[in-house]
Amino acid sequence: MRLISPERQDSLRVTFKYTAILFSFLMVLMMVWEGQKSDAAVAEVAIPQESIRLRILANSDGAADQLVKRQIRDKIVEQMNQWVSALEDPQSLEQARALIRRHLPELNELVAGELQKRGIGYDYKVELGVVPFPTKMYGGTVYPAGDYEAVRVTLGAGKGQNWWCVLFPPLCLSMQDPVMLLLKGQRLLLPRRRRLAER
C-alpha cells in the first residue's frame, strides 16, 4: 500500500480548500444572477410608458409575512385581470385608471378578507397614486428608480421585501395556465409564470 507524502497531503488540502471556495463563490454568483432575473414580474416586453403598476409591500421579511404577500398578490392580480378583460378598450389607460378607482373599495375588502381569513390583525392600506419604486433589473433591462402610477398595497409595517408588476396593461403573470394578452391590438400568447421582484 502506497502512502501519500505529507507534502502531497498538504497540496491536496489546499487544492480542495480553493475548489470549495470557488464552488461557493459560483453558487453565490448564480443566486445573485437568479435574483436579478426575477426583479420585475413582467412579461418579456418593455414596460409601456403609459402603465399602472402594482406594488405590494410585506409587513416583514418573515416567511409567514412573505407568504401572505404572495397570496394577496395572487388574489389581486386574478381579480384585476378579470376587471381589465371586461374593458371596452383594454388598451385605454384612462379606462383602466377609472376602473381601479371604482374598484378600490373592493380591493380593500379583498385584502381585509384575506388577512382575516388567515387570522392576521395588522393594518393594511390600498391606494392608487404616484409611488416611489427602486431601480430594478429584469431580463437585461434596467428599470430606473422613480415615481410611477401604481396601486400600492402596504401590509402591516410595510418593512418586508416588496413585489411589483405592471397591472395595466396586464403583464402580471401567475403560474397557472396560459394567458392571452392584448398588446397593441395583437393577441400574444404567453405562458403564465411568476417572477417575484424582491428588494
Per-residue pLDDT of the chain (199 residues; tens, 9 = 90+): 567 788 888 888 889 888 988 888 777 766 665 544 444 444 445 677 788 888 999 999 999 999 999 999 999 988 988 887 777 666 678 888 888 999 999 999 999 999 999 999 999 999 999 998 888 775 667 778 889 899 999 999 999 988 888 877 766 644 333 333 333 333 333 333 333 344 3
Q: Is the pTM of this model over 0.85?
A: no
Q: What is the pLDDT of residue 177?
A: 31
Is 91:182 a contact under the CB 8 Å cutoff? yes
Distances (CA, A) of 95 to 14, 89, 115: 66, 8, 29
The pair phi, psi for residue 191, each rounded to 5°, is -70, 140
Q: What is the pLDDT of residue 39?
A: 40
